[in-house]
A = this chain, B = another copy of it.
Amino acid sequence: MENKKQVLAESVFFKGLPEPLLHQLAQIAQEKKFRRGEMIFLEGTACSGFYIVAQGQVKLYKMALDGREQILYVLEAGEPFGIVPVFHGHSFPASASSLTAVTALFLPKKEFIALLAAHPELALAVMAAMARRMRRFAAKIESLSLKDVPARLTAHLLYLARKQGGTSQITLDIPKKQLANLLGTSAETLSRIFNDMSAAGLIRVEGRRIALLDHTAFQGGTIMERGTVTQKRSG
């Protein structure tokens, strides 16, 4: 109970809300556990509530009939998922599964909406979180349509660098195959582009550890647009 409240208090959704409200939220929240690689929900399935990640990583993704997959978002502790059908429609717009062992809090739709209606500050927090998610989605659309793969990767590396405290020594937080699915490319192409960027002296890759070398090129955004890194294929 206390530890549910703790999780809620630190989540993006509920950060900064008054203690009594957090208490009420903790009362309706149910803890759920998932093993690594487990399906949490499937696109198109009916929804009776949403989740907040307490521990571990969850991927939100769309899958094609032939098995290709596009990750929309990788969620970490404190982030909500499955909110769309709470407010519109009945089914999940995407699938979710765990990338690691996961603990999540489940908040049933009905009880949550009752709380929402009674607490405007809660509603505003939810809207802010949804707006943030929309920014991310808009950026992803832009990225898929207007940037080539090197530019998408560069943007992602910069994002990680910021998230990991502005260091130039970053660590990929997901396997490269998953990163490829997140960037909308294949593992093979991603691997080749790591090579190209290494050969160009921009980065050094050692497993999941990546050093950003040419700081000016990164900071200046030189590689942010199309075609800059591109050169003959490594080999």
Contacts and interface: CB of A to CB of B under 8 A. Distances in A.
Interface of A: 62-66, 68, 70, 72, 83-89, 93-94, 113, 116-118, 120-121, 123-124, 126-135, 137-142, 144-147, 184, 225-226
B142 A65 contact: no
A147 B132 CA distance: 26
A124 B134 contact: no
A7 to B, nearest CB: 22
Contacts of A128: 87-88
B120 A65 contact: no
A124 B113 contact: yes
A72 B225 contact: no
Contacts of A146: 62-64, 68, 70
Contacts of A129: 88
